[in-house]
Amino acid sequence: MGFARTCSVALVGVEGVVVEVQADLEPGLATFTLVGLPDKSLVESRDRVRAAVVNSGIDWPQKKLTVGLSPASVPKSGSGFDLAVACAVLGAAERIDPRDLADLVMIGELGLDGRVRPVRGVLPTVLAAADAGYRQVVVAEQTASEAALVPGVSVLGVRSLRQLVAILTDAPVPDEDPAEEGAAAPMLAGLTVPGAGKGIPGLGEERPVDLAEVAGQTAARRALEVAAAGRHHLFLKGPPGAGKTMLAERLPGLMPPLTRKEALEVTAVHSVAGALPPGRPLIERPPYCAPHHSATMASLVGGGSGLPRPGAVSLAHRGVLFLDEAAECSARVLDALRQPLESGQVVVARAQGMMRMPAGFLLVLAANPCPCGRHGSRGGGCECRPSSVRRYRARLSGPLLDRVDLRVTVEPVTRAELADPDAHGESTATVAERVRAARERAEARYTETPWRTNSEVPGHELRTRWPGAPGALNRAEEDMERGLLTARGLDRVLRVAWTLADLAGHDRPTADDVDGALELRTGVRRGTALAGGGT
């Protein structure tokens, strides 16, 4: 009887569970049984593993073979267990010393020819392995740089099962053609990746955009700055062609780069979703996700058949989720955003398991004022019935809009503004510097707390520990008494007022800051200019 074990990782959302892969060989009819709650794709690994071993020039054991995946109560899916299953079988057959496998975590799919292919979710699987105390990981060569982002873990990237067996048996390592043109040479000298952890630019740099390209739109540009400084949700309303999408696309550039911890969080989500750009293992800039208005519930908040997968709200974690033509989106889908907007995460429950995914995104909604888009615009010409306008605007529910801090009307740009070079305002770099300074002020204020931006701080904490100047909230409290603001709305006004104070360099919000926050929330001019900022 032969027995061997090694390890792999099962993913549930972005959380991993280390799975012990055990192989047992006994005399009897040659069979291959796989147990431990595998899904269909994992059951098929029996045929992939057998073909990969044989085509690698290694004899397949002609005995009764049982492979167990422990803990058996955890659902397991995907082809990432292939490499671990193959090595456990070879260890039980004494083709590999079983003692060399016990401390390894293996993640990779096997082709029928024995090549090791990359799988999704390598970063969160390696993070889970590191948390469990494992320090050596074997992955496909293409994902080695992604796995090496985890500190304290040695990574071996291999091109084929033959290479891995040769390394584990101290035999000459066969040369293999790279899996794709431009792939790096095999990393066979120890379990390290040269240059690991240096970081590679994240998403959003393929198409550089600058705020200076936006003509006019002084109020909307200012709202973008406030949104970036405090991570406040934003609603842009205006006719077609006014520049709503153009403004939203420039918002991620105003936000500071992600910290190392944030970058790993974001990269883990994109890795699970299979959305990492080729050759860019680490996302260091805030992501920008703009799903079509026909997006389904599962594509937006996560889900799908079997174990749920991350949706757009998770892909936009630490970045911007832009919903253009928001009034055309399904009301049911839009209202599903209410819970992640409050909690910063989304929990999707299915019969086969529950997924908890991060969803700390900055929401930007854009919509026309009416079905034809010309209601209230300078050119006029709207032919929509009042009832049609009301129904159209009602598609964005009150509870959803109550969670949006900033609401700005985007007017069409005039010919004079397009032709006037002075109508083009400050660059992204200039505004981003003010945003960075405001963020630093907020972080210094919240040093002893888990919060880093004003939008994260609970209203009770703001009112008790960081209140505004005496009398600053008088007008906001009057609006609440008149039913124009909810209690949640009052808290959000105070959060925006703190962001305006940070941008202006105030120690605490003044009455002008609160008036500015009320104007950004209600669109009603309060007789004072927004504090600080440029054009």
Residue with tokens 């090595």: 87
Which of the listed residues 136, 168, 200 is the one where a domain comes to its end? 168
CA distance 92 to 24: 6
pLDDT of residue 70 exceeding 60: yes
Verify that 236 and 339 share a domain, yes or no: yes
Dihedral, CA atoms, 347, 349, 353, 358, nearest 10 degrees?
-10
pLDDT of residue 523 exceeding 90: no
Verify that 387 and 524 share a domain, yes or no: no
Q: How confident is the model at residue 354 (pLDDT cuts 50, 70, 90)?
A: confident
CA distance 26 to 227: 65
Verify that 295 and 360 share a domain, yes or no: yes
Q: How far is CA 323 from the centre of its chain?
A: 16
pLDDT of residue 11 exceeding 50: yes
Quick check: 30 and 64 in contact, CB under 8 A?
yes
**Arithmetic mean of pLDDT, 500-519:** 93
pLDDT of residue 347 exceeding 90: no
3-state helix, strand, coil in the chain (%, to 5): 40, 15, 45
Q: How confident is the model at residue 176 (pLDDT cuts 50, 70, 90)?
A: confident
- Grouping H, G, I as helix, E, B as strand and the rest as coil, residue 45 is helix
Single-letter amino acid code for the residue at 220: A
**Arithmetic mean of pLDDT, 430-457:** 94
Domain count of the chain?
A: 3
Is residue 488 in some structural domain?
Answer: yes
Verify that 9 and 111 share a domain, yes or no: yes
Is residue 350 in some structural domain?
Answer: yes
CA distance 397 to 380: 26
Q: Which of 303, 314, 312 is nearest to 343 (CA)?
A: 314
**Arithmetic mean of pLDDT, 133-157:** 95
Q: How far is CA 35 from the centre of its chain?
A: 33
pLDDT of residue 105 exceeding 60: yes
Quick check: 233 and 362 in contact, CB under 8 A?
yes
Is residue 364 in some structural domain?
Answer: yes
Alpha helices in 148-217 (DSSP H): 161-168
pLDDT of residue 203 exceeding 70: no
Verify that 156 and 256 share a domain, yes or no: no
Which of the listed residues 141, 168, 195 is the one where a domain comes to its end? 168
Cis peptide before 151 (omega within 30 of 0): no
Which of the listed residues 102, 134, 168 is the one where a domain comes to its end? 168
pLDDT of residue 59 exceeding 60: yes
Verify that 129 and 236 share a domain, yes or no: no
Residue with tokens 């500071």: 256
Q: What is the CATH number of the domain that holds 224?
A: 3.40.50.300
Q: Which helix (H) or strand (E) holds 438?
A: helix 428-445
Verify that 241 and 374 share a domain, yes or no: yes
Verify that 403 and 470 share a domain, yes or no: no
Look over the chain and give the mean of its residue pLDDT values, rounded to a whole number.
87
Residue 299's domain comprises 211-428
Alpha helices in 132-256 (DSSP H): 144-147, 161-168, 218-230, 244-249, 251-254
Single-letter amino acid code for the residue at 262: E
pLDDT of residue 534 exceeding 50: no
Verify that 329 and 266 share a domain, yes or no: yes
pLDDT of residue 260 exceeding 60: yes
pLDDT of residue 218 exceeding 50: yes
The pLDDT value given to residue 375: 73
Verify that 134 and 267 share a domain, yes or no: no
Is residue 203 in some structural domain?
Answer: no
Is residue 202 in some structural domain?
Answer: no
Q: Measure Cα distances from 472 to 45, 249, 340, 353, 516 in Å.
A: 66, 34, 30, 49, 11
Residue with tokens 């550039």: 253
Residue with tokens 């909690």: 343
pLDDT of residue 228 exceeding 70: yes
Q: What is the CATH number of the domain that holds 141?
A: 3.30.230.10
pLDDT of residue 497 exceeding 60: yes
pLDDT of residue 357 exceeding 60: yes
What would the pLDDT profile of 288-324 be if each residue is shown by its tens digit? Answer: 999 999 999 989 998 776 667 889 999 999 999 999 9
> What's the N-to-C CA distance of the chain in angstroms?
78
**Arithmetic mean of pLDDT, 166-170:** 95
Is residue 126 in some structural domain?
Answer: yes
Verify that 343 and 380 share a domain, yes or no: yes
pLDDT of residue 42 exceeding 50: yes
Is residue 310 in some structural domain?
Answer: yes
pLDDT of residue 111 exceeding 70: yes
The pLDDT value given to residue 278: 73
Is residue 125 in some structural domain?
Answer: yes
pLDDT of residue 43 exceeding 50: yes
The pLDDT value given to residue 378: 65
Verify that 323 and 462 share a domain, yes or no: no
Is residue 415 exposed (0-12), middle (13-18) or buried (19+ Cβ within 10 Å)? exposed
